[in-house]
């Protein structure tokens, strides 16, 4: 794994002069029975750092292209508004046929998908990079169905992730999700939840906010006047990064 990472980094593309965004790295999942790919954002000077937090982002290609997330990371780290963080942009598409997007099967509280993270992807990242190797250093983020996936990972994978970031989670795809949070004991999670105020699952997410607050979860909730698109989510990338990775005071 380490030799493979060195090879990829040798031919990497730069997000800018201060950081690195690797090319696509392919991984064969025995759990899922197929190959996936991901890219890794590495902050400037990561080689000399230890125990860095790691943000895992589903729909990673969208967060890179439409969300321009590497630029946001560079800016916030350079301004010292967030601590250096490794970001793993996971692609839900078939690497051999990008038109085949598996997100609708991966993101609906799929325990195999969580097992892929916990037993295959995360160990590889932590063996290769200067990443912390306990749940307190790991956050999962997603948009729409990816936000639903983050909610699912919080519910069934709180031993793996401590931070749950959700942009407009599509909760309707798992109707029992909200009641499951309501019935479950308080889990050791910090939560970021955002929604638009029109055509964006806003009624469900307002209910979700109330359930989470009534349970006592530490949470940042943001509602914006946009619909279910990147005009909504791209401006909120700053907010989710600041919530999870601002320097401790």
* Distances from the Cα of 4 to the Cα of 28, 125, 128, 138, 210, angstroms: 13, 12, 9, 23, 46
pTM over 0.85: yes
Q: Average pLDDT in the 49-74 region?
A: 97
In this predicted structure, what is the pLDDT of residue 18?
63
| Alpha carbon separation from 8 to 2, 24, 223 (Å, rounded) | 10, 8, 39
pLDDT of residue 73 exceeding 80: yes
Question: In terms of Cα–Cα distance, which of 248, 31, 41, 1 is closest to 123?
Answer: 1
pLDDT confidence bin for 13, thresholds 50/70/90 = very low
Backbone φ, ψ for residue 231 (5° rounding):
-60, -30
Q: With the CA atoms of 189, 157, 176 and 209 taken in that order, what torsion angle do they form, in degrees rounded to the nearest 10? A: 20
List the structure tokens of 235: 């401006």
Q: How confident is the model at residue 67 (pLDDT cuts 50, 70, 90)?
A: very high
CB contact at 8 A, 144 and 169:
yes
pLDDT at residue 2 greater than cutoff 80: no
Phi, psi dihedral angles at 162 (to 5 degrees) = -105, -20
Residue 184 backbone dihedrals phi, psi, to 5 degrees:
-70, 155
Q: Which domain holds residue 181?
A: 2-245
With tokens 């290769």, the residue in question is 128
Domain tally, the chain: 1
Q: How far is CA 14 from CA 9, 86, 239, in A?
A: 10, 14, 24
What pLDDT, on a 0 to 100 scale, did the predictor assign at position 19? 77
CATH code for the domain in which residue 182 is found: 3.40.50.1820
131, 86 contact by CB (below 8 A): yes
């Amino acid at each position: 794994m380490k030799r493979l990472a060195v090879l990829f980094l040798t031919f990497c593309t730069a997000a800018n002069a201060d950081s690195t965004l690797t090319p696509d790295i392919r991984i064969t999942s025995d759990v899922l029975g197929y190959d996936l790919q991901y890219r890794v954002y590495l902050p400037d000077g990561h080689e000399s750092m230890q125990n860095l937090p790691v943000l895992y982002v589903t729909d990673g290609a969208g967060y890179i292209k439409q969300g321009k997330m590497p630029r946001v990371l560079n800016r916030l780290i350079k301004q010292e508004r967030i601590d250096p963080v490794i970001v793993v942009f996971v692609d839900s598409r078939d690497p051999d046929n990008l038109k085949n997007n598996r997100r609708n099967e991966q993101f609906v509280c799929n325990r195999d998908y969580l097992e892929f993270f916990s037993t295959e992807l995360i160990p590889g990242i932590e063996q290769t990079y200067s990443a912390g190797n306990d749940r307190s250093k790991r956050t999962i983020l997603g948009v729409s169905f990816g936000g639903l996936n983050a909610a699912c990972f919080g519910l069934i994978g709180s031993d793996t992730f401590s931070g749950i970031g959700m942009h407009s989670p599509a909760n309707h795809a798992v109707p029992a999700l909200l009641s499951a949070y309501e019935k479950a004991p308080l889990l050791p999670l910090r939560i970021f939840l955002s929604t638009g105020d029109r055509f964006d699952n806003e009624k469900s997410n307002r209910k979700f906010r109330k359930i989470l607050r009534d349970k006592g979860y530490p949470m940042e909730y943001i509602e914006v006047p946009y619909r279910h698109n990147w005009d909504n989510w791209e401006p909120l990338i700053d907010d989710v990064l600041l919530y999870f990775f601002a320097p401790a005071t």
